[in-house]
A and B are shown apart, each in its own frame.
Chain A
């Protein structure tokens, strides 16, 4: 039972396997500090999303709207600063409030209607992507806005969200690891964490035991929206602008990362560390293939094969560990 309580064991083994494969084939460039940074920097935004999505999936729900929230929050910041000439920090505050409101709306719709969150958030995925494109076209006739570095308040934002924190590693990596630690603590050490596991494991039983399942889910939907807002902010600051299409398909990548990390699609079982490892595997495969020098024509083939292999290996290790107990 003790190893079963470690959902991330298989993912950790898969991560090591993937690393060894690339380290052997791509050689020193992959193992170098630069190569490691290329992997971690690419994995960080996905990782931030995956940690939040992981918690939500453990509670038994999906959020497909986060990719759209990344685009929406990023464009909100750009529109407020460049079109309405706000300074940066109030605009960030507004984007955070907007994202939380979207998350609240998602959560409320799901718990109120009892519809599958897959459907509800698929709807909001389209609504907010569409709104982002329509509103930014209406106001500026463009879907890409730049020049955030000329906005007052950019300096501190650059340090917090867009700097190279340690050597070639971006500050987003610190956000990712920090949030993962926080999520792990919440999940394993707090009452709210127990509620999350209970809400996903058996919502009816949990409700009878007095767990506020609806409230837990709404809070988690707000958390995923907030994570999406953070990613939007990091990318807007780093690339000094935003694009209405940014974050497209990130919702699926986040779910993939969470599942690679050993969280069950059905909920009730999983971990934040697993989500971190899932994002790490995704980043290693994505960047490792380029570092190895595989032509772009073949990229998706190997991405797909490596991801399936990682999950199969993960399952294999986990089953072995469970048999051994």
Chain B
């Protein structure tokens, strides 16, 4: 019993040691600057799990940057969308004294105390993906991500030039501020060409229910000639509703974010576009910019937002993006 415990303990300790790059930093090819990059340790802390395809791409971006920069990067996330656990993670990350931090801020009010402790401890930090409005106030050097309003405006302009005048904004989380902001942007983008927008709340947990709601909205108002999904989960029910009402291909449809289904629909011409906020760049740029900041104290953006999107996937480039998505970089 004694020996078993000893062996198990030693084995676990060894494994922890090996996984914890802290004690065994990989030697990087330091190029210029006074900082020894092999000692640089950046913690990337997000609210999304790497089991989610979107966040897997973010983590791939951060990992690639770590290899290229020769620094050590850890990706941390709570096991579910949980602000309490996330604030605990931030606290633990700050206690571990990393060289720099990159954090997502999906709920600025909830995370403010822990985040302020991080920036107050003098750890250089950028926010990414979510929290653009709160980033500066919370003391971050920069925010890397897509701005919701501008993305909505760009989507509105695209739909308008695709011939849409009356567009449905399919919101799967009414009350979520960032999604409401996208709809507002859409309205303003459409208004430039005298188009109008109305919000339709859908529940993606029940795709059948979502499809029926979209169907009845289309039946109620035959003037509707455009749709924008705020998340790719809405693509399948929306396409089903259009197919059933015989309006597939007759109205302009776009979606936020990429999934294999949404990309295939764009390639096949069923969707006009998919808005890509380029999550790979969010992880990649956070690590690169923080590494350079540690060496040069220089940070682009002037405290404003460094935009990674919106980038548009359309029929022309869909095949290329599908190939890149298979490699986990889009």
Contacts and interface: CB of A to CB of B under 8 A. Distances in A.
Interface in A213-245: 235, 238-241, 243, 245
B91 A235 contact: no
Interface string B74-90: 11110111111001110
A183 B171 CA distance: 48
Given A24-B13, A142-B175, A238-B113, A295 B92 contact: no
A172 to B, nearest CB: 11
A212 B109 CA distance: 47
B171 to A, nearest CB: 10
B95 A32 contact: yes
Interface string A31-54: 010110110011001000000000
Nearest to A143: B175
Contacts of B87: 239
A296 B12 contact: no
A126 interface: no
Nearest to A147: B109
A86 interface: no
A141 B171 CA distance: 12
A243 B83 contact: yes
Contact of A309 (B12, B84, B176): B12
Contacts of A245: 81-82
B1 A293 contact: no
B9 A309 contact: yes
Contact of B75 (A146, A248, A297): A297
B175 A42 contact: no
B16 A240 contact: no
Contacts of A294: 16, 19-20, 74
A316 B2 CA distance: 9
B251 to A, nearest CB: 27
B260 interface: no
Nearest to A303: B79
Nearest to B203: A137
Interface in A270-325: 286-287, 289-300, 302, 305-306, 309, 312-313, 316
A292 B9 contact: no
Question: How extensive is the interface on chain B, given as a class?
Answer: 35 or more
Contacts of A306: 12
Contacts of A142: 174-176
Contact of A42 (B76, B91, B109): B91
Contacts of A140: 175
Contacts of A42: 88, 91-92
Contacts of B43: 293
Contacts of A27: 22-23
Interface in A121-170: 140-142, 144, 146-147, 149, 168
Interface string B1-19: 1000100110011011101
A246 interface: yes
A26 B88 contact: no
A309 B15 CA distance: 14
B109 A239 contact: yes
B213 interface: no
Contacts of A309: 8-9, 12
Interface in B290-329: none
Nearest to B56: A297
B286 interface: no
Given A41-B91, A293-B20, A305 B109 contact: no
A25 interface: yes
Contacts of A147: 109
B110 interface: yes
A17 to B, nearest CB: 7
Given A293-B21, A313-B5, A316-B5, A29 B110 contact: no
Interface in B64-120: 72, 74-77, 79-84, 87-89, 91-97, 107, 109-111, 113, 117
Contact of A291 (B23, B49, B80, B96): B96
Contacts of A293: 20-22, 41, 43, 72, 74, 96
A298 B95 contact: no
A292 B77 CA distance: 15
Contacts of B117: 168
Contacts of A296: 49-50, 74-77
5 nearest CB pairs, A to B: A142-B175, A290-B92, A239-B110, A35-B95, A34-B95
28 contacts: A17-B9, A24-B13, A25-B16, A25-B23, A27-B23, A29-B95, A38-B91, A42-B91, A45-B84, A140-B175, A142-B175, A144-B175, A146-B109, A235-B84, A239-B83, A239-B109, A241-B107, A287-B95, A290-B89, A290-B93, A293-B96, A294-B19, A294-B20, A295-B74, A296-B49, A296-B74, A302-B15, A309-B12
Given A147-B109, A239-B109, A286-B88, 6 more contacts: A21-B12, A24-B13, A29-B97, A35-B95, A140-B175, A293-B22
Interface of B: 1, 5, 8-9, 12-13, 15-17, 19-23, 41, 43, 49-50, 72, 74-77, 79-84, 87-89, 91-97, 107, 109-111, 113, 117, 174-176, 201
